[in-house]
């Protein structure tokens, strides 16, 4: 079990086929308030495992902005 505080960027990587991830949330999803930071952004310096096949990602995650773009948008608000 892992607790992720509200507003904290997070993601999941399943290393086995047929993995199921269940999670609970503190309030109803508000899609317009969601955003994604590209998990493959080199500035995050994440050492992702090398796989024999490509990662399966949602369109939302595949088209996500990098961290610098997010920081620039956040500073405008």
pLDDT at 77 over 80: no
pLDDT category, 16, cuts 50, 70, 90?
A: confident
What tens digit of pLDDT does each residue of 20-68 get? 888 888 888 888 878 889 998 999 999 988 877 778 888 988 899 999 9
What share of residues in the chain are helix, strand, coil (percent, to 5)? 25, 5, 70
Sign of CA dihedral 4, 6, 11, 12: positive
Give the residue from 15, 18, 77 showing the smallest Cα distance to 48: 15
Assess contact for 67 and 44: CB atoms under 8 A.
yes
Euclidean distance between CA atoms 41 and 69, whole angstroms? 11
pLDDT at 75 over 70: no
pLDDT category, 5, cuts 50, 70, 90?
A: confident
């Amino acid at each position: 079990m892992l607790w992720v505080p509200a507003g904290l960027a997070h993601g999941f990587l399943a290393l086995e086929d047929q993995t199921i991830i269940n999670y609970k949330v503190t309030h109803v999803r508000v899609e317009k308030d969601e955003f994604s930071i590209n998990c493959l952004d080199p500035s995050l310096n994440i050492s992702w495992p090398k796989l024999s096949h490509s990662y399966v990602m949602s369109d939302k995650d595949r088209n996500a902005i990098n961290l610098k773009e997010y920081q620039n948008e956040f500073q405008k608000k």
